[in-house]
Amino acid sequence: MIGAFVGIFEAQFSQCFWAHEEAALGLWTDCGSSLQVALLDMNKTEAESLMQTLTKQYGQERLLFLHCDVEQEEQVKAAFQKTMDTFGGIHILCNNAGILNESTWEKMISVNLVGVIRATYLVLEHMNKLKGGQGGVIVNTASLAGIGPLVSCPVYTASKHGVVGFTRAMSAASALSGYGVRVNCLCPGFVQTGLFSNIPARLGPFSHLKDGTQLLVEKFGIVNMSQVVEAFFELVTDETKDGAALLVFQQERKYMPAVSVTD
Ligand SMILES: NC(=O)C1=CN([C@@H]2O[C@H](COP(=O)(O)OP(=O)(O)OC[C@H]3O[C@@H](n4cnc5c(N)ncnc54)[C@H](O)[C@@H]3O)[C@@H](O)[C@H]2O)C=CC1
Ligand SMILES: CC/C=C\C[C@H](O)/C=C/C=C\C=C\C=C\C(=O)[C@@H](O)C/C=C\CCC(=O)O
C-alpha cells in the first residue's frame, strides 16, 4: 500500500483490515495463511508511531514499513523489490498517495497521476502472469473529483480524472494482454483527513471559490474512513470487478460505468 501512514488508509489497520484477510487470501493459490502488508510512504515522522502501534497489534512478521516517494522511480522500484524479497510475492497494490495543492499544480500531477502510473508499471513486473507472477489486483484511489469537476480545484480534478482514465484503459490492456491483473479505482467523496483540512489555503488561484466547495461538502456530507476501507475490499475481493470506478458517498456506494463512444 502506497500512501499509507496517515489519512484514509491508516484507518485500514485500526478498524478492519484483517477482517477481510480470509477473503483476500482465497484469491490466490500461492498465499500463505496470513495477510502480509508492506506500507510505503514518504512520511518518516508518522511511520515511527504507526509502526509501533501496528507491530504491537499484529506482529512484526506481517508488516514491512518502507520509505518511498512515488516521484522517485528508483525508490519505488527498490521498495517493491524489498517487498518481494521479504514476503515472496505481491498480489494487491493500493495506489493511495495523493496531495491537494492548486498552487503547486505540477507537483500535484506528478504525485497524483504520474506516481500512480509509475507504481503500476513497476508492480506489473512482479504481478504479471506473463513474467512469472501470480496475477493480482491494483486499486487506485481517485476521487469523486475523478468523475465530476471540483470547480475550485481544476488541476486536482484533472489528476483524478487521469487516474480514472488510466485505470479503465489499463484494466482493458491487462485483460487483453493476459497479465492476470485486475485494475480498479475508488472514488470517495469528502473524507476528514489532513488533505481535507485547511482547504482555502490549498486552492491557490481559486481560493475565492471556497464557498462553492463548502456547499459541495454540505451537499455530499463526509464519508467515514471505514466506508472507504469496505469499498476498497469490495474491489479487491469481487473478481468480477475489473476497470471499475466505485463511488463512495455518505449514504451509499455505486459503480460509475464508463461512457462508450462507439455505441
Ligand atoms: N480526504 C479526502 O476527502 C479524499 C481523499 N482522496 C484521495 O485519497 C488519497 C489519500 O488521501 P488522504 O488520506 O485524504 O490524505 P492524507 O494527506 O491524509 O494522506 C496521504 C498519504 O499519502 C502520502 N504521500 C503524499 N505524497 C507522497 C509521495 N510523494 N510519496 C509517497 N507517499 C506520499 C502521505 O505521506 C500520506 O501518508 C489521496 O490520493 C487523495 O487524493 C480521495 C477522495 C477524498
Ligand atoms: C476540497 C477538496 C477536498 C477533498 C478532495 C477529495 O478528493 C474530494 C472530492 C469530492 C468531491 C468532488 C466533487 C465532484 C463534483 C461534481 O461531480 C460536480 O459535477 C458537482 C456539480 C456542481 C458543482 C458546482 C460547484 O463546484 O460549485
Residues marked active site are found at 156
132-187 pLDDT, tens digit per residue, is: 999 999 999 999 999 999 999 999 999 999 999 999 999 999 999 999 999 999 99
By the 10 Å C-beta count (0-12 exposed, 13-18 middle, 19+ buried), 173 is classed as middle
**Cα–Cα distance between 161 and 140 in angstroms, integer?**
12
Q: Is residue 2 part of a domain?
A: no
Task: Give the CATH number for residue 246.
Answer: 3.40.50.720
**The predicted structure's pLDDT at residue 30:** 78
C-beta of 180 in contact with ligand 2 (< 6 A): no
Q: What is the domain extent for residue 191?
A: 8-256
CA 243 / ligand 2 centre spacing (Å)? 22
DSSP state of 160: H
Q: Is residue 262 part of a domain?
A: no
> In total, how many domains does the chain have?
1
**The predicted structure's pLDDT at residue 16:** 63
Q: What is the pTM of this model?
A: 0.96
Q: Is residue 157 part of a domain?
A: yes
CA 120 / ligand 1 centre spacing (Å)? 17
* Residues having CB within 6 Å of any atom of ligand 1: 2-3, 5-8, 41-43, 68-71, 96-99, 111, 141, 143, 188, 190-191, 193-196
C-beta of 42 in contact with ligand 2 (< 6 A): no
24 vs 160: which has the higher pLDDT: 160
C-beta of 150 in contact with ligand 2 (< 6 A): yes
Nearest ligand, CA of residue 5? 1
C-beta of 221 in contact with ligand 2 (< 6 A): no
Partners of 66 in the beta sheet?
40
By the 10 Å C-beta count (0-12 exposed, 13-18 middle, 19+ buried), 28 is classed as middle
Q: Candidates 147, 150, 192: which one to mutate for ligand 2, based on the most atoms within 8 Å of Cβ?
A: 150
Confidence of residue 258 (pLDDT cuts 50, 70, 90): very high
Q: Is residue 263 part of a domain?
A: no
